[in-house]
Structure 1
Amino acid sequence: MSFMSPGQVVWFEVGTTDPDAVTGFYGPLLGWTFEVDPDSSVDGRTYTRIIAPGAPWPMGAIQQGDTGGEVINLSVLSADVPADVDKLTGLGATVVVPATQVADVTVFARLADPRGNVFSLFSQSTSQRFEERMTGTEEYMQQAASTPKPGSMGRFEIGTTATKATTDFYAAAFGWRFEKDDTADGTPYFDVFGPGAQWPSGGLWDHSGGGAEMADYVMPCFLVTDVAATTDTARKLGARVEHGPETHPDGTVSVRLTDPRGNRFGLFSPPAGPTAGC
């Protein structure tokens, strides 16, 4: 199955009322660069694409002021956004932003899962303009997913105190499957596979046993070469550490933080082989 197939996480977005604050934090921290979509400005609001160091294509974007607050969310590819909105609300999701046409480029919607975690849907346009923009993107995104570069989104993580409810929702919503990670040294952790995927693109941490600082969350995780050093830089830039840094049995090092706007994200550095979690 193609990486750019419905049900796959292929993008992330930061919703904010202050794009300059977001770029001022993540630019110095992860080496991101930014480009404002010239067609995006509506009533002074902008859509700013996020580009990882050395990447030829964006991996995410900053959406100004359309959610009424600060949020960072994953974006899932959809074959039919309005139909998927109906399907997901039937599964217990709630609509944050209804299905919306953006020029001739795409259709998107933003929802919250039954645990309150926000995510987006978007569909590819068949317009020539969009196809020209997307030429080469799938190949790049496939390579970025299999061998992420420092500063890029390498995976995502779900944390939940209601594991069955969460896995049931995402399995029914997008065809994701969840496999227990036996290398996690007793931590109740599951690898998350997109529909038809051979390798996991994320992980799920079961917090139902208690003792966790957090309840439920969904966050992107960004690859770095030195988690401890990057965490120290993040603190100096105003971030707050929620969990870690910690070293997993397979050598993966990870940390969970919130940025100065309150958005949750992870940092990780993997071992030479496949990662156990972010």
Structure 2
Amino acid sequence: MKGAFFVNKTGGFYWVDLMSTDAAGAREFYEKVLEWSPQDITTPDGSTYMMLTHEGDLVAGLGEHSAAMKAQGVPSMWNSYVTVDDVAASVDAARNLGATIMLEPRTIEGAGTMAHIVDPVGAAISLWQPDGHDGGEKFNTPNSLTWNELMTRDPVTAAEFYIALFGWSFEEVEDSEPPYTTILNGPNMNGGLLDATTLLPDGAPSMWGVYFAVADTDATVDAAVAGGGRVIHGPVDMPGVGRTAVIADPQGAVFSVIRSEQPG
């Protein structure tokens, strides 16, 4: 596995996927913007799921919402997955800690077992118990996952939940404004927790966001706009962190990109 921060172990983010209202359109967009190559596989229910690779290494997945989900107006979104040893036990624990279970444990033959939950502050997150599919093959290098971040108005409740569920620990970043906390899985950096009280629009839920490393933030933004995406924020320099931007793809799924100042 390539990358310094991510370790494929229990409690770590090891996979992300995009569930889109238009998988074909999303495929074309990310081929151009992040130079990903799709590989179609057929799931047990007959739907198509794409494994996205960069230079031969798995980096993410892509699927399309069902007709029922589209009819309900479920938006395109990026999903963050946390590795667990026992999905059923983790779902039971999450429920007891106040989470809402959106998808009970579901086994995908030859790959693993997944579940989807909404945490007590309203952010959706996914759980994965590997059994054949071990997730991403590189991180923190250009065109791959580099960070997962929870934006919420209630960081205290969120931290208490994830400490109890995954055993994570949290370290406050000094003098950060708005307040920011680094998530640790054991000794490893595992993401961030942002107090988004002043940032989230009225009515907007808490959310887990994904960051992809890029070699050139501005060039990536230009490619995204040319491909039908729109810029939500940036590009902007964050001293000691890197140059970032927040982008929505043509179907509305939001993601961030960063040219990092940190060693990869």
Shorter-normalised TM range: 0.7 to 0.9
Cα deviations by residue, 1:236-273 (Å, 9 ceiling, x for unpaired): 222232222211121511112222222121100111x3
Which structure is higher in strand share? 2
Which structure 1 residue ranges, 4+ long, deviate > 6 Å from structure 2? none
State the TM-score, normalizing by the size of structure 1: 0.81
Correspondent of 2:195 among 179, 197, 206? 206
Cα deviations by residue, 1:181-215 (Å, 9 ceiling, x for unpaired): 2374x442221212x133x232222122x255565
Matches within 5 A, 1:151-230: 151-182=143-174, 184=176, 186-194=177-185, 196-198=186-188, 200-208=189-197, 210-213=198-201, 216-230=206-220
Q: Is the 8 A contact 1:153 1:220 kept in 2?
A: yes
Q: Which residue of 2 aligns with 1:28?
A: 32
Report the secondary structure of 2:125's partner residue: strand
Partners of 1:91 and 1:251 in 2: how far apart? 33
Question: Of the two structures, which has the highest relative contact order with CA contacts closer than 8 Å and spacing of 6 or more?
Answer: 2
Matches within 5 A, 1:90-109: 90-109=96-115
Cα deviations by residue, 1:40-59 (Å, 9 ceiling, x for unpaired): 1634x11211112x243x12
Partners of 1:19 and 1:7 in 2: how far apart? 29
Q: Which residue of 2 aligns with 1:121?
A: 127
2:113 corresponds to 1:111: no
CA shift, 1:153, in A, is 0.6
Correspondent of 2:93 among 63, 87, 111? 87
Partners of 1:187 and 1:34 in 2: how far apart? 37
Report the secondary structure of 2:25's partner residue: helix
How many pairs does the alignment contain? 251
Q: Which residue of 1 aligns with 2:45?
A: 42
2:245 corresponds to 1:259: no
Q: Is the 8 A contact 1:81 1:123 kept in 2?
A: yes
Partners of 1:226 and 1:18 in 2: how far apart? 27
Report the secondary structure of 1:59's partner residue: strand
Q: Is the 8 A contact 1:246 1:254 kept in 2?
A: yes
State the TM-score, normalizing by the size of structure 2: 0.85
CA shift, 1:224, in A, is 0.9
AA at the equivalent of 2:179: P
